[in-house]
Amino acid sequence: MKYPLASPDITAEDIAAVTAVLKTGMLVQGPVVAALEQSFCSYTGAAHAVAVSNGTATMHLALKLLGIGPGDEVVVPALSYVATANVVELVGAKPVFVDVEERTFNMDVEQLETALTPATKALLPVHEFGLCCDIANIHKIAVAHQLPLIEDAACALGATQHGVFAGTTGLMGSFSLHPRKSITSGEGGVLQTPDEGIATKLRQLRNHGIEMVNGQMDFVEAGFNYRMTDYQAALANSQMQRIAQTLIKKRQLSEVYFNEIKNPAITLPFVPQGHDHTWQTFHVLLPEDLDRPAVIAKLRAKGIGANYGAQCIPATTYYARKYDQDAATLYPNAWRAYTCGLAIPLYEKLTPADLQYIAAAINQL
């Protein structure tokens, strides 16, 4: 495939940073993980950042730390990557789905209010595809109902809404460092929090529940091993040094699609005023009467790795079996994105000419 859907930019400096750690022979969590955490705090302004083994682990830790379990409900958007709901299932709680807005693909705040019940124990909105959800108003609801707010900012490192970075409004903000996200460590995740006590607890939970008392190791929780290795952190931290330029480049590339995709059947993404998108995914909507698998096959024949965007989670097999909801009726906007959405390539290594080629192929659909 000439233009895969995603491809991380790994520079010579990135490789040198990783090999430098490998040469020390000290591979597990150590000073480079701490340096990566510091880079997150410097970039987003968060007080504390805790790096772990992947993005799903960050949210699992967050829910564990809050003591959420059987009988509890956590509100999540109906459209996301399944991990957002899976972590709720993993702690034995119930994900309560809320439809997304038609144009932003983010949680509909008015519907969020109606989803709250006495069993609601946390809000877990997503900044879908790298566009901030209406986090200011979701935060107001969280405060009014005294609910902890966890942001799934997996796709949104560097996204802002009126200057506020994704992952800095809630009690915790979660990032993924998978190769399809703003920066990568291969696999990795980072959890930010303004609360020092929570940060300490998260560090303990990621490392077997260890607490050092008078230089002695004690185990005060049944913790996990969710540590990141230092050589993974070296890759991510090297990429972190140029993230601002990376995102500027992606935003410039996105303009090529906005200027060049002229097919009236294609609905382009919507970016509300005051938002900076990360363009983790450039996600367009096809008309309902266009055969999506045929579109994908046509684009692939031209070397373009288009694919589906995100899941309407309650419609996936596990959730459909367990909760048996009529997802298409209950969550029409998530359903529309799930059935008619198309992700097309947009990443740092592409040139404006590459995007013109892809746009031309889309215009010919």
Ligand X SMILES: *Cc1c(COP(=O)(O)O)cnc(C)c1O
Q: Helix (H, G, I), strand (E, B), or coil: what is residue 121?
A: strand
**Is residue 54 at the binding interface for ligand X, with CB under 6 A as the rule?**
yes
- For ligand X, which is the closer residue by CB, 90 or 210? 90
**Is residue 192 at the binding interface for ligand X, with CB under 6 A as the rule?**
no
Tokens at residue 328, please? 């298409």
Tokens at residue 72, please? 């509890």
Residues 50, 99: contact at Cβ < 8 Å? no
Residue type, 113: E
**Is residue 314 at the binding interface for ligand X, with CB under 6 A as the rule?**
no
**Is residue 80 at the binding interface for ligand X, with CB under 6 A as the rule?**
yes
Residue the block writes with tokens 């983010």: 106
The distance of closest approach from Cβ of residue 59 to ligand X in the complex, given in angstroms and rounded to an integer, is 7
**Is residue 37 at the binding interface for ligand X, with CB under 6 A as the rule?**
no
- For ligand X, which is the closer residue by CB, 226 or 261? 226
**Is residue 104 at the binding interface for ligand X, with CB under 6 A as the rule?**
no
Nearest to 254 by CA among 346, 119, 357: 346
**Is residue 169 at the binding interface for ligand X, with CB under 6 A as the rule?**
no
Q: In what order do the strands lie in the sheet with 189-193?
A: 48-52, 189-193, 172-176, 150-152
**Is residue 170 at the binding interface for ligand X, with CB under 6 A as the rule?**
no
Query: Of residues 18, 88, 126, 199, which one binds ligand X by CB under 6 A?
Result: 126
CA atoms 206, 211, 215, 216: torsion sign:
negative
Q: From CA 89, how far away is CA 356, in angstroms rounded?
A: 43
Residue whose beta carbon is closest to ligand X: 55
Q: From CA 262, how far away is CA 277, in angstroms rounded?
A: 21
Q: Helix (H, G, I), strand (E, B), or coil: what is residue 207?
A: strand
Q: From CA 308, how far away is CA 293, in angstroms rounded?
A: 9
- For ligand X, which is the closer residue by CB, 9 or 260? 9
**Is residue 152 at the binding interface for ligand X, with CB under 6 A as the rule?**
yes
**Is residue 347 at the binding interface for ligand X, with CB under 6 A as the rule?**
no
**Is residue 55 at the binding interface for ligand X, with CB under 6 A as the rule?**
yes
Q: Per CB under 6 A, which region of 66-74, 80-88, 200-208, 246-254 contacts ligand X?
A: 80-88
**Is residue 184 at the binding interface for ligand X, with CB under 6 A as the rule?**
no
Tokens at residue 338, please? 């799930």
- For ligand X, which is the closer residue by CB, 14 or 152? 152
**Is residue 83 at the binding interface for ligand X, with CB under 6 A as the rule?**
yes
- Interface contacts to ligand X, rule CB under 6 A: 54-56, 80-81, 83-84, 126, 152, 154-155, 176, 178, 189
